[in-house]
Amino acid sequence: MQAESTGHISGVKDTLFSIKKTLNIKGKLVCITQPMIMGIINTSPDSFFPGSRRQSVDGVLEMAAEMIGSGADILDIGGYSTRPGAEDISLDEELSRVIPPIAAISKTYPECIISIDTFRSAVAENALGAGASLINDISGGQLDENMFRTVSRLKVPYILMHMKGNPRTMKLMSEYDNLFKEIAVYFNNRISELHNLGVNDIILDVGFGFAKKIGQNYELLRNLSYFNIFGLPLLAGVSRKSMIYKTLHLTADKAMNGTTVLNTIALLKKASILRVHDVREATETITLLKRGNFDILN
């Protein structure tokens, strides 16, 4: 089924669709004139890559300074580990992990765009009150029925990711009759819901590693530009994931080179945002592709 789908998708021209290139962030129009970089900061103690973990406010501020200095356009703060099999935590615990760091970053770097990585609307709302201006929801609104209404009411950009199940069950939910069709239908339905609520600033994330097998992840990456049919910015989040380190028989801490390779492919497939652990390397990748006049977002 997927081989037939791929054959059809490969005929889609990268330049056929006009991609939305503006986001309204706190009343300011941000133009995506070139690929943006989102730096990952995890305040959970059990995220899959230890190098992204910072559990003190001072540690978060130190990492934020390094990322901003290396070219990060957005900082993505998350306190709930979404690695496969991750344990659930309470709402109060998640709030205690993310609100103080977000408030500190917002105070220290007031021009920084901060994203809150959560599927809980209450966490999102509190984070926005503390200084965040973007919601990154791995569940696409499936794990909290109030999320879409919260996004609409607060008038903030929303990253809509594809996932089935939850972090504890998603590994068991990687079977698809037609991978691309199911993800496209998922996006179409949720985009319609958001539009009906007046939400127009939407970014799509196909969810590499979330309810997908390694081969499915590569099929999605190879055909990422297919999702330009929605005319919305695409976020690619492959950084140090198992699709890299398991393929290369490594560990996440040794997956930097593989990450750069796949980020390069994502950019050539018209990704608008790279979500990464290693900001400097992502910045260099974009600089080199621009210098070589490669066909990336422009």
pLDDT along the chain (298 residues), means of 10: 38 62 93 96 73 77 96 96 78 95 97 97 98 97 97 97 89 93 98 97 97 97 96 97 97 96 97 97 98 89
Looking at the structure of the chain, the number of domains it has is 1
User: Is 241 an annotated catalytic residue?
Assistant: yes
Report yes or no on 126 lying in a domain.
yes
| CATH number of the domain to which 82 belongs | 3.20.20.20
Report yes or no on 80 lying in a domain.
yes
Report yes or no on 132 lying in a domain.
yes
Report yes or no on 297 lying in a domain.
no
How far is the first Cα of the chain from the last one, in angstroms, to the nearest whole number? 34
Report yes or no on 295 lying in a domain.
no
Residues paired with 116 in a beta bridge: 77, 135
- Biggest CA pair distance of the chain: 52
User: Is 275 an annotated catalytic residue?
Assistant: yes
Report yes or no on 50 lying in a domain.
yes
Conformation bin of residue 184: beta by default, left when phi > 0, alpha when psi is -120 to 50: alpha
Report yes or no on 296 lying in a domain.
no
pLDDT at 21: 93
- Rounded to whole angstroms, how far apart are CA atoms 5 and 167? 27
Residues paired with 185 in a beta bridge: none
pLDDT at 51: 56
The active-site residue out of 53, 120, 240, 241 is: 241
pLDDT at 40: 96
The active-site residue out of 120, 240, 270, 275 is: 275
3-state SS assignment for residue 215: helix
3-state SS assignment for residue 298: coil
- Rounded to whole angstroms, how far apart are CA atoms 82 and 296? 30
Report yes or no on 111 lying in a domain.
yes
- Rounded to whole angstroms, how far apart are CA atoms 160 and 273? 13
Residue 7: domain span? 2-289
